[in-house]
Amino acid sequence: MPAQKLMEQFNLRSHLRFNIEEGNIWLDENRMLLLHASALGALRKELIQSLGIQRAKALLLRMGFESGQRDAELARKLTGSGEPYDVFQIGPQLHAFEGLVKATITEAEIDWERGSFLGAVDWQGSWEAESHIQAFGVGDEAACWTLAGYASGYVTRFFNRFVVFREEQCLCCGDDKCSIVGKPAEEWEDQEYVKLFKPDNIDREIRELQDEVSSLRETLCHQRGRGDLVGESQAFRNAFNLLERAADSPINVLLLGETGVGKEVFAHWLHKHSSRAENPFVAVNCSAIPHDLIESELFG
């Protein structure tokens, strides 16, 4: 059925409500937001720069997936008003209705009883391609991720089967249009792409990396920083931490301890790692100097 007739049959505009006094916009029972595309583009750019291409891609795919599922629920409510395939076609109309892209179904092999699906869609006026090119220019990466996620979420919810769409052509790659192909997740050879739809725990990975860095720093400190100093007790570590802090400053240091605990070894380490390391280290045995001469020996 033509797009205009679909819009008229299901009266999509009647499902959009503005409550300006309350500051709400509703599409059926889903609260919507009217945002600047440039603001979303700025957020998208920051995600890419902060998380890298793959993590940003996965996050935006999942965001689009969630949006597509919400619209599929609206389409399901309209099933009683028309043929299931016509209701299925509302997906591209909702995408356009929300200002995201003009979508045209170019291929649809659907077996409703078996739940099989193979579909292809062409896009025109993709806000995401426009935003990506403005921020990064034309490159090698197809970048309409939220839109591909939307199509995947819509069809997945509509068929109750995990269907994944992937962009095969994109303006961001220098192609003359954007287009996607969708089929059940298990039929994709590229399962790494399919895995992007599954949430990951970035916070846990960051904490694990922080722990690993701390462990590596401690290991390097043991291997390269302590030299002849050997010890693992908490008291030793506390003393060594103080020694490290003192090595970076011009303060006077007094080492106290019983005979044989390693005060001179600590003193040698402190000298070696201080700003005066190029000057000679002078050890003075004060016990060998007569009491009445020690002042003149040390201070002139």
Q: Which of 156, 174, 200 is the last residue of a domain?
A: 200
Give CA–CA dist 81/255, Å, rounded. 89
Q: Which of 147, 173, 200 is the last residue of a domain?
A: 200
Residue 49 shares a structural domain with residue 159: yes
Residue 12 shares a structural domain with residue 91: yes
Q: Give residue 169's pLDDT band: very low, low, confident or very high (50, 70, 90).
A: very high
CATH number at residue 277: 3.40.50.300
Residue 274 shares a structural domain with residue 145: no
Q: Which of 173, 200, 227 is the last residue of a domain?
A: 200
Count of domains forming the chain: 2
Residue 7 shares a structural domain with residue 123: yes
Instruction: Supply the range of the domain harboring residue 286.
Output: 204-299
Q: Assign residue 277 a region: left if phi > 0, alpha if psi is -120 to 50, beta otherwise?
A: alpha
171-229 pLDDT per residue, tens: 999 999 999 999 999 999 999 999 999 987 666 667 777 777 777 666 655 544 566 66
Residue 13 shares a structural domain with residue 57: yes
Residue 37 shares a structural domain with residue 60: yes
The model's pTM: 0.67
Question: For residues 145 and 61, is the Cβ–Cβ distance under 8 A?
Answer: yes
Sheet bearing 16-19, strands edge to edge: 16-19, 24-27, 30-32
Residue 108 shares a structural domain with residue 237: no
Residue 178 shares a structural domain with residue 221: no
4-60 pLDDT per residue, tens: 565 566 677 888 899 989 999 998 888 999 999 999 999 999 999 999 999 999 999
